Structure 1
Amino acid sequence: MWADFSLILIPLLLSILSMGVAVAIIYCWLRKQNRHYRESPLTQDLMRPPGYSLQLKVNELGDEVTLYLMFMLGAPILLYSFHLSESYFGGEPESALRTAISFAMGMGVVGFLGYRLSKTLDEKKKYALGLQGEMFTGEELNQLMLDGCRVFHDIQFPYGNIDHVVVSPSGVFSINTKMRGKPKHGDGRAELIVDYQNNVLRFPDYEHPIPHNQLEAESNWLSKHLTSAIGNQVKVQPILALPGWFIKERIGRGLVTVINPTKPNRFFVNNHITLSATEMQQIAHQLEQLCRNVKPSYRAKKK
Protein backbone atom coordinates (compact mmCIF):
# COMPACT_ATOMS: atom_id res chain seq x y z
CA MET A 1 0.00 0.00 0.00
CA TRP A 2 2.85 2.37 0.83
CA ALA A 3 4.37 1.67 -2.59
CA ASP A 4 1.12 2.61 -4.30
CA PHE A 5 0.83 5.76 -2.17
CA SER A 6 4.43 6.78 -2.94
CA LEU A 7 3.81 6.34 -6.65
CA ILE A 8 0.80 8.61 -6.44
CA LEU A 9 3.02 11.29 -4.84
CA ILE A 10 5.68 11.05 -7.54
CA PRO A 11 4.40 14.12 -9.55
CA LEU A 12 4.26 16.25 -6.39
CA LEU A 13 7.70 15.10 -5.26
CA LEU A 14 9.18 15.85 -8.66
CA SER A 15 7.63 19.33 -8.66
CA ILE A 16 8.97 20.10 -5.19
CA LEU A 17 12.38 18.73 -6.15
CA SER A 18 12.58 20.88 -9.30
CA MET A 19 11.64 24.00 -7.32
CA GLY A 20 14.23 23.13 -4.68
CA VAL A 21 16.92 22.69 -7.33
CA ALA A 22 16.06 26.09 -8.84
CA VAL A 23 16.25 27.80 -5.43
CA ALA A 24 19.56 26.04 -4.66
CA ILE A 25 21.06 27.16 -7.98
CA ILE A 26 20.10 30.80 -7.33
CA TYR A 27 21.44 30.63 -3.76
CA CYS A 28 24.75 29.12 -4.89
CA TRP A 29 25.08 31.74 -7.63
CA LEU A 30 24.59 34.56 -5.10
CA ARG A 31 27.16 32.99 -2.78
CA LYS A 32 29.56 32.68 -5.68
CA GLN A 33 29.13 36.36 -6.56
CA ASN A 34 29.93 37.35 -2.98
CA ARG A 35 33.17 35.34 -3.11
CA HIS A 36 34.12 36.51 -6.59
CA TYR A 37 37.34 38.47 -6.78
CA ARG A 38 35.66 41.29 -8.73
CA GLU A 39 32.91 43.59 -7.50
CA SER A 40 31.34 46.92 -8.40
CA PRO A 41 33.94 49.72 -8.43
CA LEU A 42 31.44 52.16 -6.89
CA THR A 43 32.36 52.95 -3.31
CA GLN A 44 29.32 55.03 -2.37
CA ASP A 45 25.59 54.66 -2.71
CA LEU A 46 23.74 56.08 -5.71
CA MET A 47 21.18 58.88 -5.75
CA ARG A 48 17.55 57.86 -6.12
CA PRO A 49 16.34 58.61 -9.68
CA PRO A 50 12.82 59.87 -10.49
CA GLY A 51 10.19 57.24 -9.72
CA TYR A 52 12.63 54.85 -8.04
CA SER A 53 10.05 53.59 -5.50
CA LEU A 54 7.50 53.02 -8.26
CA GLN A 55 10.11 51.22 -10.37
CA LEU A 56 10.74 48.79 -7.53
CA LYS A 57 6.98 48.20 -7.23
CA VAL A 58 6.61 47.65 -10.98
CA ASN A 59 9.49 45.15 -10.89
CA GLU A 60 7.89 43.35 -7.93
CA LEU A 61 4.54 43.13 -9.71
CA GLY A 62 6.31 41.90 -12.85
CA ASP A 63 7.76 39.04 -10.81
CA GLU A 64 4.27 38.24 -9.48
CA VAL A 65 2.91 38.14 -13.04
CA THR A 66 5.64 35.67 -14.00
CA LEU A 67 4.81 33.45 -11.02
CA TYR A 68 1.08 33.45 -11.79
CA LEU A 69 1.80 32.50 -15.41
CA MET A 70 4.07 29.67 -14.28
CA PHE A 71 1.45 28.38 -11.85
CA MET A 72 -1.30 28.63 -14.47
CA LEU A 73 0.79 26.50 -16.84
CA GLY A 74 1.99 24.05 -14.20
CA ALA A 75 -1.18 23.51 -12.17
CA PRO A 76 -3.18 21.66 -14.87
CA ILE A 77 -0.19 19.43 -15.65
CA LEU A 78 0.25 18.62 -11.96
CA LEU A 79 -3.45 17.82 -11.50
CA TYR A 80 -3.45 15.68 -14.63
CA SER A 81 -0.40 13.82 -13.30
CA PHE A 82 -2.25 13.10 -10.05
CA HIS A 83 -5.21 11.83 -12.02
CA LEU A 84 -3.05 9.47 -14.09
CA SER A 85 -1.09 8.33 -11.02
CA GLU A 86 -4.28 7.36 -9.21
CA SER A 87 -5.51 5.54 -12.31
CA TYR A 88 -2.41 3.57 -13.29
CA PHE A 89 -0.55 3.24 -10.00
CA GLY A 90 -3.30 3.55 -7.43
CA GLY A 91 -5.74 1.28 -9.22
CA GLU A 92 -8.58 3.81 -9.24
CA PRO A 93 -11.00 2.98 -12.08
CA GLU A 94 -11.67 5.68 -14.64
CA SER A 95 -15.12 7.21 -14.45
CA ALA A 96 -17.02 10.23 -15.67
CA LEU A 97 -17.28 11.48 -12.06
CA ARG A 98 -13.50 11.29 -11.44
CA THR A 99 -12.81 13.02 -14.75
CA ALA A 100 -15.37 15.75 -13.98
CA ILE A 101 -13.89 16.32 -10.50
CA SER A 102 -10.35 16.57 -11.85
CA PHE A 103 -11.50 18.92 -14.63
CA ALA A 104 -13.45 21.08 -12.16
CA MET A 105 -10.46 21.29 -9.82
CA GLY A 106 -8.21 22.26 -12.71
CA MET A 107 -10.62 24.92 -13.94
CA GLY A 108 -11.08 26.24 -10.41
CA VAL A 109 -7.34 26.60 -9.84
CA VAL A 110 -6.76 28.17 -13.27
CA GLY A 111 -9.73 30.48 -12.79
CA PHE A 112 -8.46 31.70 -9.41
CA LEU A 113 -4.94 32.21 -10.75
CA GLY A 114 -6.34 33.98 -13.80
CA TYR A 115 -8.33 36.33 -11.56
CA ARG A 116 -5.24 37.13 -9.47
CA LEU A 117 -3.21 37.60 -12.66
CA SER A 118 -5.77 40.06 -14.01
CA LYS A 119 -5.76 42.09 -10.77
CA THR A 120 -1.96 42.12 -10.70
CA LEU A 121 -1.78 43.28 -14.32
CA ASP A 122 -4.22 46.12 -13.56
CA GLU A 123 -2.13 47.14 -10.55
CA LYS A 124 1.08 46.94 -12.57
CA LYS A 125 -0.44 49.15 -15.28
CA LYS A 126 -1.43 51.75 -12.68
CA TYR A 127 2.05 51.85 -11.16
CA ALA A 128 3.70 51.89 -14.60
CA LEU A 129 1.59 54.92 -15.56
CA GLY A 130 2.59 56.67 -12.34
CA LEU A 131 6.23 55.81 -13.01
CA GLN A 132 6.08 57.43 -16.44
CA GLY A 133 4.59 60.55 -14.88
CA GLU A 134 7.33 60.83 -12.26
CA MET A 135 10.04 60.20 -14.85
CA PHE A 136 8.62 62.89 -17.13
CA THR A 137 8.31 65.41 -14.30
CA GLY A 138 11.81 64.55 -13.08
CA GLU A 139 13.27 65.07 -16.55
CA GLU A 140 11.62 68.48 -16.81
CA LEU A 141 12.71 69.53 -13.32
CA ASN A 142 16.29 68.45 -14.01
CA GLN A 143 16.47 71.24 -16.60
CA LEU A 144 16.32 73.69 -13.69
CA MET A 145 19.90 72.79 -12.81
CA LEU A 146 20.93 74.88 -15.82
CA ASP A 147 19.53 77.85 -13.89
CA GLY A 148 21.53 77.10 -10.75
CA CYS A 149 18.87 75.02 -8.96
CA ARG A 150 19.39 71.70 -7.21
CA VAL A 151 16.93 68.87 -7.88
CA PHE A 152 16.37 65.67 -5.89
CA HIS A 153 13.98 62.77 -6.38
CA ASP A 154 12.11 60.12 -4.43
CA ILE A 155 13.00 61.21 -0.92
CA GLN A 156 11.77 58.78 1.72
CA PHE A 157 10.00 60.03 4.82
CA PRO A 158 7.97 58.26 7.54
CA TYR A 159 4.68 58.39 5.62
CA GLY A 160 5.87 57.47 2.13
CA ASN A 161 8.04 59.37 -0.28
CA ILE A 162 8.34 62.89 -1.68
CA ASP A 163 8.49 62.60 -5.46
CA HIS A 164 10.75 65.60 -6.14
CA VAL A 165 12.38 68.48 -4.29
CA VAL A 166 13.69 71.65 -5.95
CA VAL A 167 16.09 74.01 -4.20
CA SER A 168 16.32 77.34 -5.99
CA PRO A 169 17.26 80.89 -4.98
CA SER A 170 13.50 81.49 -4.81
CA GLY A 171 12.98 78.83 -2.12
CA VAL A 172 12.49 75.13 -1.50
CA PHE A 173 9.65 73.25 -3.20
CA SER A 174 8.29 69.74 -2.64
CA ILE A 175 6.61 68.36 -5.77
CA ASN A 176 4.10 65.54 -5.84
CA THR A 177 3.35 64.06 -9.28
CA LYS A 178 -0.08 62.65 -10.07
CA MET A 179 -0.54 60.86 -13.39
CA ARG A 180 -4.15 60.85 -14.58
CA GLY A 181 -5.40 59.17 -17.74
CA LYS A 182 -7.41 61.25 -20.19
CA PRO A 183 -10.38 60.31 -22.41
CA LYS A 184 -9.49 58.89 -25.83
CA HIS A 185 -12.03 61.08 -27.65
CA GLY A 186 -13.66 64.49 -27.32
CA ASP A 187 -12.72 68.16 -27.48
CA GLY A 188 -10.64 69.49 -24.63
CA ARG A 189 -9.90 65.98 -23.42
CA ALA A 190 -6.54 67.09 -21.98
CA GLU A 191 -7.81 70.34 -20.43
CA LEU A 192 -8.08 70.85 -16.70
CA ILE A 193 -9.70 73.44 -14.44
CA VAL A 194 -8.17 73.94 -11.00
CA ASP A 195 -10.89 75.09 -8.61
CA TYR A 196 -9.12 76.17 -5.43
CA GLN A 197 -12.36 77.53 -3.95
CA ASN A 198 -14.03 74.11 -3.96
CA ASN A 199 -10.71 72.23 -3.62
CA VAL A 200 -11.26 70.11 -6.73
CA LEU A 201 -9.53 69.33 -10.00
CA ARG A 202 -12.07 69.37 -12.82
CA PHE A 203 -11.06 66.89 -15.46
CA PRO A 204 -13.12 66.57 -18.68
CA ASP A 205 -15.16 63.63 -17.39
CA TYR A 206 -14.83 63.71 -13.59
CA GLU A 207 -13.70 65.72 -10.58
CA HIS A 208 -11.01 64.82 -8.07
CA PRO A 209 -10.18 66.53 -4.76
CA ILE A 210 -6.87 68.38 -4.56
CA PRO A 211 -4.81 66.22 -2.16
CA HIS A 212 -3.70 69.22 -0.09
CA ASN A 213 -3.46 67.22 3.14
CA GLN A 214 -0.92 64.82 1.63
CA LEU A 215 1.12 67.58 0.02
CA GLU A 216 1.11 69.75 3.14
CA ALA A 217 2.18 66.77 5.26
CA GLU A 218 5.15 66.22 2.91
CA SER A 219 6.18 69.89 2.87
CA ASN A 220 5.74 70.28 6.65
CA TRP A 221 7.88 67.22 7.39
CA LEU A 222 10.60 68.38 5.01
CA SER A 223 10.50 71.89 6.46
CA LYS A 224 10.97 70.60 10.01
CA HIS A 225 13.73 68.22 8.96
CA LEU A 226 15.73 70.87 7.09
CA THR A 227 15.17 73.50 9.79
CA SER A 228 16.47 71.13 12.44
CA ALA A 229 19.43 70.07 10.30
CA ILE A 230 20.81 73.48 9.30
CA GLY A 231 19.61 75.55 12.24
CA ASN A 232 17.71 78.14 10.17
CA GLN A 233 14.02 78.26 9.38
CA VAL A 234 13.37 76.61 6.00
CA LYS A 235 9.95 77.03 4.45
CA VAL A 236 8.91 74.42 1.89
CA GLN A 237 6.17 75.16 -0.64
CA PRO A 238 4.02 72.21 -1.80
CA ILE A 239 3.47 71.75 -5.54
CA LEU A 240 1.16 69.34 -7.38
CA ALA A 241 2.41 68.36 -10.86
CA LEU A 242 0.01 66.95 -13.46
CA PRO A 243 2.03 65.86 -16.53
CA GLY A 244 0.26 66.02 -19.88
CA TRP A 245 -2.61 68.26 -18.74
CA PHE A 246 -3.22 71.79 -19.97
CA ILE A 247 -4.46 73.96 -17.10
CA LYS A 248 -7.22 75.93 -18.79
CA GLU A 249 -8.28 77.97 -15.78
CA ARG A 250 -7.49 78.54 -12.11
CA ILE A 251 -10.35 79.58 -9.82
CA GLY A 252 -9.20 81.32 -6.63
CA ARG A 253 -5.93 80.60 -4.85
CA GLY A 254 -4.83 77.79 -2.56
CA LEU A 255 -1.96 76.69 -0.36
CA VAL A 256 -0.99 74.03 -2.93
CA THR A 257 0.10 75.21 -6.38
CA VAL A 258 -1.04 72.98 -9.26
CA ILE A 259 1.18 73.02 -12.35
CA ASN A 260 1.98 71.31 -15.61
CA PRO A 261 5.70 70.51 -15.17
CA THR A 262 6.62 71.34 -18.76
CA LYS A 263 9.06 74.31 -18.86
CA PRO A 264 9.11 74.73 -15.07
CA ASN A 265 11.35 77.84 -14.96
CA ARG A 266 8.36 80.16 -14.52
CA PHE A 267 7.37 78.40 -11.29
CA PHE A 268 10.76 77.90 -9.65
CA VAL A 269 13.07 80.61 -10.98
CA ASN A 270 12.21 84.30 -10.54
CA ASN A 271 13.71 87.54 -9.28
CA HIS A 272 12.52 86.97 -5.72
CA ILE A 273 15.66 85.77 -3.91
CA THR A 274 15.07 84.11 -0.52
CA LEU A 275 18.06 81.75 -0.23
CA SER A 276 21.73 82.56 -0.45
CA ALA A 277 24.23 80.30 -2.19
CA THR A 278 25.47 79.09 1.19
CA GLU A 279 21.96 78.24 2.38
CA MET A 280 21.23 76.41 -0.86
CA GLN A 281 24.39 74.36 -0.42
CA GLN A 282 23.51 73.48 3.18
CA ILE A 283 19.99 72.41 2.20
CA ALA A 284 21.23 70.44 -0.80
CA HIS A 285 23.72 68.59 1.40
CA GLN A 286 20.94 67.46 3.75
CA LEU A 287 18.72 66.39 0.87
CA GLU A 288 21.54 64.39 -0.67
CA GLN A 289 21.90 62.46 2.59
CA LEU A 290 18.21 61.55 2.34
CA CYS A 291 18.24 60.24 -1.22
CA ARG A 292 21.75 58.80 -1.65
CA ASN A 293 20.88 55.32 -0.45
CA VAL A 294 20.68 53.09 -3.54
CA LYS A 295 23.15 50.25 -3.05
CA PRO A 296 25.33 49.40 -6.08
CA SER A 297 24.76 45.92 -7.50
CA TYR A 298 27.36 43.18 -7.03
CA ARG A 299 29.17 44.94 -4.23
CA ALA A 300 30.20 42.78 -1.27
CA LYS A 301 28.75 43.79 2.09
CA LYS A 302 31.32 45.08 4.53
CA LYS A 303 31.75 42.85 7.55
Structure 2
Amino acid sequence: MNGTQLHYVVGGTGDLVVLLHGWPETWWAFRKLMPKLAEHYKVVAIDHRGIGIPDELKPSDGFTKKNMARDVYELIRSLGYESAHIVGHDLGAMVAYSFAANYPEATRRLALLDVVHPDETYYDRPMLRRPRTGFNMWWVAFNQVQGLPEQVFAGRGWHLIDWLYSNSLKDPESVTAFDRAVYARAYDTPEGIRAANGWYQAYHQDIEDLKTYDKVSLPLLALAAPTQYDQVQEQLSQIATDVRMVRVDKSLHWLAEDDPELVSRELLGFLAQ
Protein backbone atom coordinates (compact mmCIF):
# COMPACT_ATOMS: atom_id res chain seq x y z
CA MET A 1 0.00 0.00 0.00
CA ASN A 2 1.28 3.43 -0.98
CA GLY A 3 4.19 1.67 -2.69
CA THR A 4 5.32 -0.43 0.27
CA GLN A 5 4.33 -3.27 2.56
CA LEU A 6 3.42 -2.64 6.18
CA HIS A 7 3.55 -5.01 9.12
CA TYR A 8 0.95 -4.46 11.82
CA VAL A 9 -0.65 -6.22 14.78
CA VAL A 10 -4.40 -6.11 15.45
CA GLY A 11 -6.54 -6.87 18.49
CA GLY A 12 -9.96 -6.07 19.91
CA THR A 13 -13.19 -4.83 18.36
CA GLY A 14 -14.95 -1.49 18.02
CA ASP A 15 -13.80 1.93 16.90
CA LEU A 16 -10.28 1.94 15.51
CA VAL A 17 -7.24 3.12 17.47
CA VAL A 18 -3.94 3.33 15.58
CA LEU A 19 -0.65 3.18 17.52
CA LEU A 20 2.52 4.56 15.93
CA HIS A 21 5.90 3.76 17.51
CA GLY A 22 9.11 5.77 17.67
CA TRP A 23 12.80 5.15 17.00
CA PRO A 24 14.43 2.73 17.63
CA GLU A 25 11.37 0.63 18.43
CA THR A 26 8.65 -1.41 16.72
CA TRP A 27 4.98 -2.10 17.38
CA TRP A 28 6.23 -3.99 20.46
CA ALA A 29 6.61 -0.61 22.21
CA PHE A 30 2.84 -0.72 22.87
CA ARG A 31 2.76 -4.26 24.29
CA LYS A 32 1.75 -2.93 27.73
CA LEU A 33 -1.02 -0.68 26.39
CA MET A 34 -2.63 -2.88 23.76
CA PRO A 35 -4.47 -5.34 26.06
CA LYS A 36 -6.15 -2.53 27.99
CA LEU A 37 -7.05 -0.53 24.89
CA ALA A 38 -8.30 -3.66 23.12
CA GLU A 39 -10.93 -4.17 25.82
CA HIS A 40 -12.74 -1.17 24.34
CA TYR A 41 -11.42 -0.65 20.80
CA LYS A 42 -10.00 -2.35 17.77
CA VAL A 43 -6.30 -1.57 18.15
CA VAL A 44 -3.76 -1.59 15.32
CA ALA A 45 -0.08 -1.16 16.15
CA ILE A 46 1.86 -0.43 12.96
CA ASP A 47 5.51 -0.89 12.12
CA HIS A 48 6.55 2.17 10.13
CA ARG A 49 7.64 2.07 6.52
CA GLY A 50 10.90 0.09 6.31
CA ILE A 51 10.51 -1.80 9.62
CA GLY A 52 9.00 -5.24 10.23
CA ILE A 53 9.36 -6.53 6.66
CA PRO A 54 12.17 -8.46 4.91
CA ASP A 55 15.18 -6.41 3.83
CA GLU A 56 14.52 -7.03 0.14
CA LEU A 57 11.11 -5.34 0.50
CA LYS A 58 12.26 -2.26 2.40
CA PRO A 59 11.58 0.93 0.41
CA SER A 60 14.36 3.28 -0.61
CA ASP A 61 12.36 6.49 -0.21
CA GLY A 62 9.06 7.95 0.91
CA PHE A 63 10.15 8.73 4.48
CA THR A 64 8.64 12.19 4.89
CA LYS A 65 6.12 12.23 7.70
CA LYS A 66 3.50 13.36 5.22
CA ASN A 67 4.03 10.27 3.09
CA MET A 68 4.24 7.98 6.12
CA ALA A 69 0.90 9.45 7.22
CA ARG A 70 -0.46 8.41 3.84
CA ASP A 71 0.73 4.86 4.58
CA VAL A 72 -1.40 4.95 7.72
CA TYR A 73 -4.39 6.43 5.92
CA GLU A 74 -4.36 3.75 3.24
CA LEU A 75 -4.06 1.03 5.87
CA ILE A 76 -7.05 2.41 7.76
CA ARG A 77 -9.11 2.36 4.58
CA SER A 78 -7.96 -1.16 3.75
CA LEU A 79 -9.25 -2.30 7.16
CA GLY A 80 -12.69 -0.99 6.25
CA TYR A 81 -12.62 2.15 8.40
CA GLU A 82 -13.04 5.76 7.34
CA SER A 83 -11.60 7.28 10.51
CA ALA A 84 -9.57 6.38 13.58
CA HIS A 85 -8.11 7.66 16.81
CA ILE A 86 -4.40 8.25 16.20
CA VAL A 87 -1.77 7.79 18.92
CA GLY A 88 1.94 8.32 18.30
CA HIS A 89 5.12 8.30 20.36
CA ASP A 90 8.44 9.91 19.40
CA LEU A 91 8.78 9.69 15.61
CA GLY A 92 5.33 8.11 15.56
CA ALA A 93 3.98 11.32 17.09
CA MET A 94 5.41 13.23 14.12
CA VAL A 95 3.54 10.91 11.76
CA ALA A 96 0.42 11.17 13.92
CA TYR A 97 0.41 14.98 13.79
CA SER A 98 1.00 14.91 10.05
CA PHE A 99 -1.90 12.49 9.70
CA ALA A 100 -4.25 14.84 11.54
CA ALA A 101 -3.04 17.81 9.49
CA ASN A 102 -3.47 16.04 6.17
CA TYR A 103 -6.53 13.89 6.93
CA PRO A 104 -8.62 15.80 9.49
CA GLU A 105 -11.79 14.10 8.31
CA ALA A 106 -10.21 10.71 9.06
CA THR A 107 -8.92 11.71 12.51
CA ARG A 108 -11.27 11.29 15.45
CA ARG A 109 -8.89 12.21 18.27
CA LEU A 110 -5.14 12.70 18.37
CA ALA A 111 -2.69 11.76 21.14
CA LEU A 112 1.00 12.66 21.03
CA LEU A 113 3.54 11.13 23.40
CA ASP A 114 6.61 13.25 24.25
CA VAL A 115 7.24 14.62 20.72
CA VAL A 116 5.35 16.82 18.26
CA HIS A 117 6.53 17.44 14.66
CA PRO A 118 9.82 18.75 13.25
CA ASP A 119 9.77 22.54 12.99
CA GLU A 120 12.25 25.40 12.64
CA THR A 121 13.33 25.03 16.28
CA TYR A 122 15.08 21.79 15.32
CA TYR A 123 17.76 23.88 13.62
CA ASP A 124 18.47 25.66 16.91
CA ARG A 125 19.01 22.62 19.11
CA PRO A 126 22.52 22.51 20.59
CA MET A 127 25.13 19.94 19.71
CA LEU A 128 26.39 20.22 23.29
CA ARG A 129 23.82 20.63 26.04
CA ARG A 130 24.54 22.30 29.34
CA PRO A 131 24.77 19.88 32.28
CA ARG A 132 21.43 18.74 33.71
CA THR A 133 19.35 20.42 30.98
CA GLY A 134 18.08 17.25 29.31
CA PHE A 135 19.28 14.32 27.27
CA ASN A 136 21.84 14.86 24.52
CA MET A 137 20.05 13.49 21.45
CA TRP A 138 23.21 12.88 19.42
CA TRP A 139 21.49 10.38 17.14
CA VAL A 140 19.36 13.08 15.50
CA ALA A 141 22.50 14.45 13.81
CA PHE A 142 24.24 11.09 13.44
CA ASN A 143 21.27 9.55 11.63
CA GLN A 144 21.43 12.36 9.06
CA VAL A 145 24.75 10.96 7.84
CA GLN A 146 24.35 8.67 4.85
CA GLY A 147 26.20 5.36 4.80
CA LEU A 148 28.15 5.60 8.05
CA PRO A 149 25.47 4.45 10.53
CA GLU A 150 25.01 1.24 8.53
CA GLN A 151 28.73 0.52 8.81
CA VAL A 152 28.88 1.36 12.51
CA PHE A 153 25.79 -0.47 13.75
CA ALA A 154 25.14 -3.35 11.31
CA GLY A 155 25.30 -6.52 13.36
CA ARG A 156 25.69 -4.42 16.52
CA GLY A 157 22.12 -3.25 17.00
CA TRP A 158 22.04 -4.62 20.52
CA HIS A 159 24.77 -2.25 21.67
CA LEU A 160 22.86 0.81 20.45
CA ILE A 161 19.53 -0.33 21.87
CA ASP A 162 20.99 -1.41 25.20
CA TRP A 163 22.90 1.86 25.63
CA LEU A 164 19.84 3.99 24.85
CA TYR A 165 17.57 2.26 27.31
CA SER A 166 20.20 1.91 30.00
CA ASN A 167 20.69 5.68 29.90
CA SER A 168 17.14 6.91 29.42
CA LEU A 169 14.78 4.76 31.50
CA LYS A 170 13.58 5.63 34.97
CA ASP A 171 13.40 1.89 35.65
CA PRO A 172 15.78 -0.14 33.44
CA GLU A 173 13.65 -3.24 33.99
CA SER A 174 10.66 -1.65 32.25
CA VAL A 175 12.36 -2.62 28.98
CA THR A 176 13.79 -6.09 29.58
CA ALA A 177 16.63 -7.85 27.81
CA PHE A 178 14.01 -9.68 25.73
CA ASP A 179 12.36 -6.40 24.71
CA ARG A 180 15.72 -4.92 23.77
CA ALA A 181 16.50 -7.95 21.64
CA VAL A 182 13.19 -7.50 19.79
CA TYR A 183 14.14 -3.93 18.91
CA ALA A 184 17.76 -4.79 18.10
CA ARG A 185 16.66 -7.35 15.51
CA ALA A 186 14.68 -4.71 13.65
CA TYR A 187 17.65 -2.32 13.48
CA ASP A 188 20.50 -4.78 13.01
CA THR A 189 20.92 -5.02 9.23
CA PRO A 190 22.26 -2.36 6.86
CA GLU A 191 18.89 -2.13 5.11
CA GLY A 192 17.00 -1.82 8.39
CA ILE A 193 19.33 0.94 9.59
CA ARG A 194 19.14 2.76 6.24
CA ALA A 195 15.35 2.70 6.19
CA ALA A 196 15.00 3.94 9.77
CA ASN A 197 17.55 6.69 9.20
CA GLY A 198 15.46 7.77 6.23
CA TRP A 199 12.92 8.95 8.77
CA TYR A 200 15.51 11.41 10.13
CA GLN A 201 16.92 12.41 6.76
CA ALA A 202 13.45 13.64 5.77
CA TYR A 203 13.35 16.25 8.56
CA HIS A 204 14.22 19.15 6.24
CA GLN A 205 11.20 18.40 4.06
CA ASP A 206 9.05 17.72 7.12
CA ILE A 207 9.83 21.21 8.41
CA GLU A 208 8.81 22.74 5.08
CA ASP A 209 5.63 20.63 4.96
CA LEU A 210 4.61 21.85 8.42
CA LYS A 211 4.59 25.43 7.14
CA THR A 212 1.79 24.51 4.71
CA TYR A 213 -0.54 22.97 7.31
CA ASP A 214 -3.45 24.66 9.03
CA LYS A 215 -3.48 24.43 12.80
CA VAL A 216 -4.95 21.15 14.01
CA SER A 217 -8.26 21.99 15.69
CA LEU A 218 -9.50 18.55 16.73
CA PRO A 219 -9.11 17.34 20.36
CA LEU A 220 -5.46 16.64 21.12
CA LEU A 221 -3.96 14.96 24.19
CA ALA A 222 -0.23 15.47 24.75
CA LEU A 223 1.64 13.42 27.33
CA ALA A 224 5.22 14.39 28.07
CA ALA A 225 8.05 13.59 30.44
CA PRO A 226 9.25 16.51 32.61
CA THR A 227 12.30 17.14 30.40
CA GLN A 228 10.11 17.50 27.30
CA TYR A 229 6.97 19.03 28.78
CA ASP A 230 7.72 22.72 28.21
CA GLN A 231 9.01 22.14 24.70
CA VAL A 232 5.98 20.06 23.70
CA GLN A 233 3.63 22.65 25.18
CA GLU A 234 5.36 25.51 23.35
CA GLN A 235 5.37 23.71 20.01
CA LEU A 236 1.71 22.78 20.27
CA SER A 237 0.74 26.35 21.14
CA GLN A 238 1.85 27.26 17.61
CA ILE A 239 0.17 24.44 15.66
CA ALA A 240 -2.90 23.22 17.58
CA THR A 241 -5.92 24.87 19.21
CA ASP A 242 -7.55 22.25 21.48
CA VAL A 243 -4.76 20.75 23.59
CA ARG A 244 -4.74 19.00 26.94
CA MET A 245 -1.29 18.47 28.47
CA VAL A 246 -0.37 15.72 30.96
CA ARG A 247 3.01 15.40 32.68
CA VAL A 248 4.35 11.84 33.06
CA ASP A 249 6.71 12.18 35.99
CA LYS A 250 7.74 8.52 36.10
CA SER A 251 9.34 8.66 32.66
CA LEU A 252 12.25 10.31 30.88
CA HIS A 253 10.91 9.54 27.37
CA TRP A 254 9.57 5.99 26.97
CA LEU A 255 6.15 6.82 28.40
CA ALA A 256 4.23 3.69 27.43
CA GLU A 257 6.94 1.47 28.87
CA ASP A 258 7.87 3.49 31.96
CA ASP A 259 4.31 4.24 33.12
CA PRO A 260 1.75 2.19 31.16
CA GLU A 261 -0.86 2.55 33.91
CA LEU A 262 -0.98 6.33 33.66
CA VAL A 263 -0.71 6.38 29.87
CA SER A 264 -3.48 3.83 29.33
CA ARG A 265 -5.72 5.57 31.87
CA GLU A 266 -5.25 8.96 30.22
CA LEU A 267 -5.77 7.53 26.74
CA LEU A 268 -8.93 5.63 27.65
CA GLY A 269 -10.41 8.69 29.35
CA PHE A 270 -9.54 10.93 26.42
CA LEU A 271 -10.75 8.59 23.69
CA ALA A 272 -14.08 8.00 25.44
CA GLN A 273 -15.01 11.69 25.52
Q: TM-score when scaled to structure 1? A: 0.21
- Between structures 1 and 2, the one with greater helix share: 1
Radius of gyration: which is bigger? 1
Q: TM-score when scaled to structure 2? A: 0.23
